[in-house]
Structure 1
């Protein structure tokens, strides 16, 4: 069986579902017998709760939240601290060996500020994979928060989907974007097995893919294009092998898949089918 790593991105809402956390980590434990696994997480709900309790508010520009530098100590505490350690504790309880990390650890990822108007929002890019590969070689489970740093040492808040994508790029790994939905549904509430840019645009124009799911699908398409491979949208309660075997979830195909090692990939660029 392929030993290529699997990167699993989970949102902060998973922290509110202990049963789902346990199920996910038990599934990871099973997969880990054949393939390395990395978990990358956000923590939006936890951050929002903390900021509200502190009386701190932030604004959005073009749908992207502005992150003042003075808010970063609290955001780091919520993401790299509370969220990360809760996930690590759940992994430990499931018999795994978690290692809590952030993007900046081991010089895995380097970040640059997106633009001054957004504050401490970072754009990640790959740096050095050696440290992360060494952790994986110990059969440990890296659990990585979406906190990064610029080369100058400025802490930056990174979108969790982008964080997961850059880690998958670093390891040439498969990427699973897991949340509390089974995948993308058509107008009859039937799970769609595959989507590409054309079918996404079609479903969006018909009002089938809207709001939060449109954001999720667009993020997955961007990740698929970056990684040059299919990205999976599925539930964090699903069996990981079932997702990879295409028995559940939705595959988001890259816009243009470049052949690798002479492989014919034309079948991945046609119209997406429904299931």
Structure 2
């Protein structure tokens, strides 16, 4: 199998579906990027999950920024993430002239997932699996669009945090990771953008209570990926030009300790 250029792994939140203009702009930029670099799109779908659970009159809670997911809710969560959100993004990609393939974390053995902790219910923690399927898709010019639904080796469906899912895909492929959402990056206590964030600065902001909950999950995933990949991971706004983000002109770059220490 021919060696491929290290891909760009782009994670987007499910709220992107509520902003079709921004989604279309991002997908158009992905199409341009694909001419020179393989791209993977990993997505969440929190708003869709909330809407579906509310319609079913089911409660939804979070612990430490992670959604508690009872097993009996997994059919609805799976339907929202691997179904509605995934296919909506694939449809938008087709409209942008891309050739998407909708996947989940369990497809083709690309990841291996284990239960995080029973207190969270059916919530999984992913690990790298086999890159063969994604490599074949890159060879064919496809855009993998991956939902954050996984399962255990025993077949128990698991809800996985999408930032952590994207981190593992980036680790699997040795790719550059962009975590995109509707925030400009990581903000300090004065609401100013932190352009570069290393471990020491992260600990400082956590101790001040500035970085917490969902942002702490996001930044921790970014720091994990930065350490594993030995390269910065960018947290940025999906409305910013993709070229600006890739050229470190927008967002927060999470810096691995090996680079800050000079190792």
Please give the TM-score of this superposition, normalised by the length of structure 2: 0.91
Alignment match, 1:82: 84
Shift of 1:193: 2.1
Structure 2 distance, partners of 1:189, 1:101, is 36
Alignment match, 2:227: 225
Shift of 1:185: 3.6
Structure 1 distance, partners of 2:208, 2:183, is 20
Q: CA-to-partner distance for each residue in 1:80-113, whole Å, 9 max, x for gaps?
A: 0000011111111111111100011111111111
Q: CA-to-partner distance for each residue in 1:36-65, whole Å, 9 max, x for gaps?
A: 000000101100110000011134444433
Structure-2 change in CA distance of 1:16 and 1:197 (3 Å):
same
Structure 2 distance, partners of 1:36, 1:53, is 38
Structure 2 distance, partners of 1:112, 1:209, is 27
- 1:49-60, aligned counterparts within 5 Å? 49-60=51-62
Shift of 1:136: 1.1
- 1:184-195, aligned counterparts within 5 Å? 184-186=186-188, 189-195=191-197
The structure 1 segments of at least 4 consecutive aligned residues displaced by more than 6 Å after TM superposition are none
Q: Is the 8 A contact 2:150 2:160 kept in 1?
A: yes
When the two structures are aligned, how many residues end up with a matched partner? 259
Structure 1 distance, partners of 2:163, 2:74, is 19
Structure 2 distance, partners of 1:114, 1:215, is 14
Alignment match, 2:37: 35
Alignment match, 1:150: 152
Structure 1: runs of 5 or more not aligned:
258-264, 271-275
Shift of 1:173: 0.7
Q: Is the 8 A contact 1:15 1:87 kept in 2?
A: yes
Structure 2: runs of 5 or more not aligned:
none
Please give the TM-score of this superposition, normalised by the length of structure 1: 0.87
